[in-house]
Amino acid sequence: MQYLVSVIDDKGTPGSTDRQPAISAFNDRLIAEGYWVFAGGLADTDAATVVDNRGEQPVFSDGPFVESKEYLAGVWVWEAPDLDVALKLAAEASKACDRKIEVRPFQ
């Protein structure tokens, strides 16, 4: 089963900025053990653009779709046999990133 693993940062109390080596080492392990499907860090929410073309004309607006203190800082997609495996990895991911992690299965 595939899980979307979201890294959640907080503008009020951001995680530390020196995590790249730990994250890289963790990614290497995810790849070696066959869990890794995809990973990517995201640019700041200021860089987001929302597009709404449900009406007659596409409307572009600056900024994220929802303004909040907590925001999505990056994602993984993992392939794991069950939630216990995913949660165990997520606990390690949270340490590696120094941030909160949300685990959510794909349908």
Q: Give me the residues that bind another protein (CB under 8 A), please.
A: 1, 81-84, 87, 103-105, 107
Of 93 and 103, the one with the shorter C-beta distance to another protein is 103
Q: Shortest approach of another protein to residue 90 CB, angstroms?
A: 10
Q: Shortest approach of another protein to residue 101 CB, angstroms?
A: 13
Separation of alpha carbons 93 and 50, rounded Å: 29
Separation of alpha carbons 67 and 89, rounded Å: 29
Separation of alpha carbons 37 and 15, rounded Å: 24
Q: Shortest approach of another protein to residue 104 CB, angstroms?
A: 8
Characterise 37 by phi-psi region: left (phi > 0), alpha (psi -120 to 50), beta (else).
Answer: alpha
Of 23 and 101, the one with the shorter C-beta distance to another protein is 101
